[in-house]
Amino acid sequence: MQKLLLAVDRLSTWFGKACAWTVIGLTLLITWEVFSRYVLNTPHAWVLDAQIMLYGVLFMSAGAYTLAKSGHVRGDVLYGFFSPRTQAGWDLALYILFFLPGIVALTYAGWFFANESLAIREQTFNADPLPVYPFKFVVPIAGAFLLLQGFVEIIRCVMCLQTGEWPKREEDVEEVDVDKLKEMVNVKDADIDALDSLVVKQGGQP
């Protein structure tokens, strides 16, 4: 079971990282448009729509990735003090009551909206129209990835309720944990304070 959970984690990670490359396209597009608009005096009406759609791809695709890394915002002020079983119980209830209905509705409705857009070959409303329907399919695809990752998280909750410990998950780039960094280099707060005092003394000498 653990191998299956980690396999889905890797799939969500791959999807998120693959779509993250839209940041490069978005950056290049904005840079080029600023140069074209203010230096060449040649603005393009379609660029704003393209920016919005690229950002939409980035935003939608990040959901499953962030869930796989347990990176979504939660009320850590209380949650962090709970035991793993209590955390799992709360998570399981919230997944069933809110996550599943919301994401199923998003994926289901997104699929129909995307197909309707494809049927009419929907375009943006400007002088240089862009096709919209390819980007609308991002909604159900991202919803499906998020739903799959959600089922994995529900399984993790059940396993934690049974064992009292959270199952391991795929590791990835995270914010620096200062306390862990201190442990890695075997440095204590007292050592840092002593070094600070030494620097202050040396700085005060002529």
- Token pair belonging to 47: 């660029």
Q: What pLDDT score does 196 carry?
A: 67
What the block records as the tokens of 65 is: 């990735």
pTM of the shown model: 0.76
Q: Give residue-wise pLDDT tens across range 157-182.
A: 999 999 888 888 766 555 555 566 66
Tell me which of 190 and 111 has the higher pLDDT: 111
- Cα(126)–Cα(149) distance, rounded to whole angstroms? 38
How is residue 14 annotated by DSSP? H
Of the two residues 92 and 183, the one the predictor is more confident about is 92
pLDDT for 64: 92
The residue ranking higher by pLDDT, 124 or 196, is 124
DSSP assignment string, 21-63: THHHHHHHHHHHHHHHHHTS----THHHHHHHHHHHHHHHHHH
Over pLDDT 70: what percentage of the chain?
A: 85
pLDDT in tens, 4-16: 888 888 999 999 9
- Among 43-57, 62-76, 89-103, 147-161, the range scoring the smallest mean pLDDT is 62-76
**Burial bucket for residue 57 (CB in 10 Å: 0-12, 13-18, 19+):** buried
The answer to whether the beta carbons of residues 155 and 136 sit under 8 Å apart is: no
Mean pLDDT, residues 191-204 taken together: 66
Retrieve residue 158's tokens. 């059940």
Nearest CA-CA partner of 20 in 72, 69, 60, 71: 60
